[in-house]
Amino acid sequence: MTDQDVDWPTDLQALRTELTRFMMSYKFATDEMMTKVNILKEEFSAIHDYSPIEHVSHRLKSPEGILKKANRKGYPLDLEGIRENIQDIAGIRITCSFISDTYRVLEMLTSQRDITVLQVKDYIRNPKPNGYKSLHLIAAIPVFMSDRVQPVTVEVQIRTVAMDFWASLEHKIFYKYDGAVPTALVGELKEAADVANRLDVDMERLHDQVLSLGDSSEPEDNRAPVAAHHANADGMLPYPLPRSLLEAFLEQSASTRAG
């Protein structure tokens, strides 16, 4: 194709439109996955003693970042080629308290019907050589655009607080030395990863011991009434459920069964 074959104003406008739709599809996929995660987090906070999800964050690669990665990896510079080969354009990070929680959250997400699991990498049971640990999920989410339903890939990283702290520090060091991290520092990072893992194991063991004690040691008079509720992450109380309301439901249910 020569310059004479290109209608630059028209073609540039068409490309701008397609690239905008391309980036928006990843934003919408991120929004959709964030909604799913936040629903799980809020449900657990309202119904259970604690939520396995401590914190959630997300990010979207810029067009410049996408182009740099495509060039570095030798991927074709067209939108379909990029969509097929670059699977971390949209990313979500879920931080949990305990190792068991990471697998619990992974199971809850992958069991949802509209999520198509493309790949799961378990770097917790099989850490990277440098000590990195995390669960990586690559999933396709259907995005309903005005004229199409576009499956869009999202990378979800699920890790504990200790794993996240270590990964954040390792990332900063990696870029500080432009990838050429001194051998001694690499060894110290690996040792720190082992310490973080021992902390995860010990904290979960202590947590399980506390749960195994139950509420039997707490005097009956000191226990919270049915109407008491814990505030959620936004500082708002869940739906008020006074004892009188619960008793009314139980009475109605018993009457219905008896009839």
CA dihedral 161, 167, 173, 178 (to 10 degrees): -150
The predicted structure's pLDDT at residue 37: 95
Predicted confidence (pLDDT) per residue in 199-250, tens digit: 999 999 998 888 888 755 444 443 334 444 445 545 555 667 778 877 787 8
DSSP annotation of 92 reads E
Asked whether residue 186 falls in the same domain as residue 121, the answer is yes
Asked whether residue 174 falls in the same domain as residue 249, the answer is no
Strand order of the sheet with strand 116-122?
Answer: 53-60, 90-96, 149-160, 135-144, 116-122
Within-domain flag for 16: yes
Phi and psi (nearest 5°) for 146? -65, -30
Q: Which residue in 57, 117, 97, 75 sits closest to 205, CA to CA? A: 97
Domain containing 229 equals: 222-253
Is the pLDDT assigned to residue 5 strictly greater than 80? Answer: no
Confidence grade of residue 11 (pLDDT, cut at 50, 70, 90): confident
Q: Are 75 and 85 in contact (CB under 8 A)?
A: yes
Reading the block at residue 104, the tokens are: 């619990």
Q: Indicate if 64 belongs to the active site.
A: no
Predicted confidence (pLDDT) per residue in 21-46, tens digit: 999 999 999 999 999 999 999 898 88
Catalytic residue among 43, 80, 107, 155: 155
Task: Compute the distance between CA of residue 254 and CA of residue 116 in angstroms, rounded to an integer.
Answer: 43
Within-domain flag for 88: yes
Q: Are 226 and 243 in contact (CB under 8 A)?
A: yes
Which domain CATH number covers 96?
3.30.460.10
